[in-house]
Structure 1
Amino acid sequence: MTMTVTTATEFTSLIFEETEDRVTVRLNRPEVRNAIDDTMVAELHEVCARLENDPKILIITGCEAGGKGIFVSGADIGQLRERRRDDALRGINNTVFNRIAELPSPVIAAVDGFALGGGLELALAADFRVATERAKFGQPETGLGIIAAAGGLWRLRKLVGEALAKEILLAGRILDGAEARDASLVNEIHAPEELLDGAQAFADRIAKQDPLAVRISKAVMAMPESAHPAVDNIAQAVLFESDAKFDRMQAFLDRKKNR
């Protein structure tokens, strides 16, 4: 697959690549192990704005420094130390991670190296996670006198269960890639040199589905239990009238008839 670099906007903390059906964002602050700062947050908001207007699959990955992979080592502690009550109430990271989680099309996090603190919370905001065995997942916030307030306290529990989530959040446990896969935090494990190809192959599988059916499925799955089954029926009614439904079902019937 040929990747076309988009240069309409000059990002300083991200490398942005776009094709017809997907966007790949590489976090690119290797000098600080991809610590999340205000600039990165602003640029991730800009990526979200593009994908809300023109929905595509999003792959978020890190970079490499000194032969080691880096996803996100956490928030920029220098900036975080100076934040006060009003900054917390603004939900700086929470807002952008929620925006990523609510993008119309699926999001894949490709994780190598550290995914700690805000890095794990960013990965948790994705729909899928692929990783290397050397990846490190953790929430060290309580050791810094704060909480994992950008999704870690609830998204992590939903994925790995309360007992393991408490061990990570309250006792500082860090999972490697294999442990994260066994805990259902990670979908697939790849060698470091094959990680991005693995994420692209995962995106290929999503891209083979009907994009509208995928988008509606993601949106309906995110709705509260009380909305079902009525919302399912309404969503299905929309899809039952789509051209893709008729074309894809006819193609299925044709293949079955020609076997």
Structure 2
Amino acid sequence: MRHSDPLTTAETLRSATALGFRGDLDEDAADLAAHVTRCEDILAELPARADRNAAQQERAQHALDTARAVRRHFLALHTEGVYDRLTQVRSRHVRLPSLVFAAADTFPGLVPTREQMAVEARCIQAEKDGREIDQGIFCAALLRSAGAGRHLIDAMLMPTPRALDLIDEFRAHGRSELDTLLLERRGQAAHVTFRNTDCLNAEDNRLISDMETAVDLALLDDQVRVGVLRGGEVDHPKYRGRRVFSAGINLKDLRNGAISLVDFLLGRELGYISKIHRGLLVDTYAAAWSDRTLQKPWIGVVDTFAIGGGMQLLLVMDRVIAEEGAYVSLPAAEEGIVPGLGNLRLTRHLGARLARQVILGGRRIAMTDPEARLVCDDIVPAAGMDEAVGRAVRELGVPAVAANRQMLSLAEEPLDLFREYLAEFAVAQVSRAYSDDVLAKVERRWQRSQAPR
């Protein structure tokens, strides 16, 4: 394979960093496209990441970093102009996955194309060039903009097309079976049971999609007043036949490159978790938040454990019921990643010192610990779980609860605080997902899982 002359490559990269945009969106977009094309030409002359030697990887990384610097420069000037172009001056609400690829089509070089992302999707995480980092730069810029960010949050709070297709059937029958969960209406409650049984109800791309559909259906159904989340029985040899709330992010999928930034890492926060916390957006023109959204109280039911993303979910629940032998943990620092919005929300539940012990030190909180009362409302024997859930449904089904929990949510986490945090999370999380220490940890864990038992 022929490679670029080193001097030519260096000159190309130096010219990139010196590129000065003039402030006109279309002219600067053309310059961006031309410059990123030069960086892509350098990458195209190199082998795939898995086959590069050290010098080749250094050259590739330099090209990637340079293109990213130019994208940041362009977005610093044109974020709102780009967003307005993509949404017809905010007259259209476009969900994040579609928005990212529309940006690739409309502003070449700004974010990876579908084809580039498809190539990456065929690789394990360690063998990717990390093009999701470029998506993260774009998403963070949108969320840093008050105008674009709020409009994007609105778009992600709207019902999904899949839920709108299923709502009539759910209203009629009170049941919807999705790939990774079961949604059932029992009385005035919608019970969501996780059934990702082969991985301890860990979250993956499928579960995130199914969860958003289920939350939409529960919020759209007028017969439902309360939502209930609970883990189903799992297949794992250690816990077979027992209910497990959630093991958090599926680290095997992370190792295999199957955890996406847009659909999973950002999609869960802007999608189903945000809908649980803030409600479903049904009227974009109403002035009052209470008129714009459908909101209902939610109950989290913890059997066995709630780890990582499972514990994060509890932080937006209105009532948490746990069995006496259960525990919760948020081992983000140990895994090397950022625990979603856990860093934003955990302090107001636990206080600063204990939150640091949980997030930075990996401390578990058992239901026998006094601190468990800061996370859970009711701690009951396993035999009393169903009765406790029924009691909580009755108490939270009172009409005034929805209005009051809405005001609590607004007071605890203003929309702009959420938006600004998520902008920084978009960059921090995707960078950690491609860091050497995380890649090494998930590889070691995967290798242990493949060893003969």
* Matched letter for residue 410 of structure 2: M
The alignment partner of 1:69 has SS state of coil
1:102 corresponding residue in structure 2 = 278
- Kindly state the Cα deviation for residue 111 of structure 1 after the two structures are TM-superposed: 0.1
**Residue segments in structure 2 that go unaligned for 5+ positions in a row:** 1-171, 235-239, 280-294, 415-453
Contact 2:321 2:389 (C-alpha < 8 Å) held by counterparts: yes
Work out which of the two has the higher radius of gyration on C-alpha atoms and give 1 or 2.
Answer: 2
* Distance in 2 of aligned mates of 1:173 and 1:126: 21
Contact 2:228 2:298 (C-alpha < 8 Å) held by counterparts: yes
Residues matched between the structures, number: 219
* Distance in 1 of aligned mates of 2:319 and 2:264: 28
Contact 1:60 1:109 (C-alpha < 8 Å) held by counterparts: yes
Contact 2:249 2:309 (C-alpha < 8 Å) held by counterparts: yes
- Kindly state the Cα deviation for residue 178 of structure 1 after the two structures are TM-superposed: 2.7
Match of 1:92 among 238, 262, 267: 267
- Say whether 1:187 aligns with 2:377: yes
The alignment partner of 2:311 has SS state of helix
Map 1:1-259; keep pairs closer than 5 Å.
6-7=174-175, 9-54=176-221, 56-65=225-234, 66-81=240-255, 82=257, 86-87=261-262, 91-95=266-270, 96-103=272-279, 104-149=295-340, 151-179=341-369, 182-207=372-397, 209=398, 211=399, 213-224=400-411
Contact 2:297 2:318 (C-alpha < 8 Å) held by counterparts: yes
2:55 corresponding residue in structure 1 = none
* Distance in 1 of aligned mates of 2:342 and 2:274: 12
Q: TM-score, normalised by structure 2?
A: 0.45
Change (3 A) 1:106 1:89: closer
**What do residues 124-161 of structure 1 show as CA deviations (whole Å, max 9, x unaligned)?**
22111110122121111111211112x21122111111
- Structure with greater strand percent: 1
Q: TM-score, normalised by structure 1?
A: 0.76
The alignment partner of 1:157 has SS state of helix
Contact 1:5 1:16 (C-alpha < 8 Å) held by counterparts: no
* Matched letter for residue 57 of structure 1: V
* Matched letter for residue 266 of structure 2: G
Contact 1:137 1:180 (C-alpha < 8 Å) held by counterparts: no
**Residue segments in structure 1 that go unaligned for 5+ positions in a row:** 228-259
Contact 1:129 1:186 (C-alpha < 8 Å) held by counterparts: yes
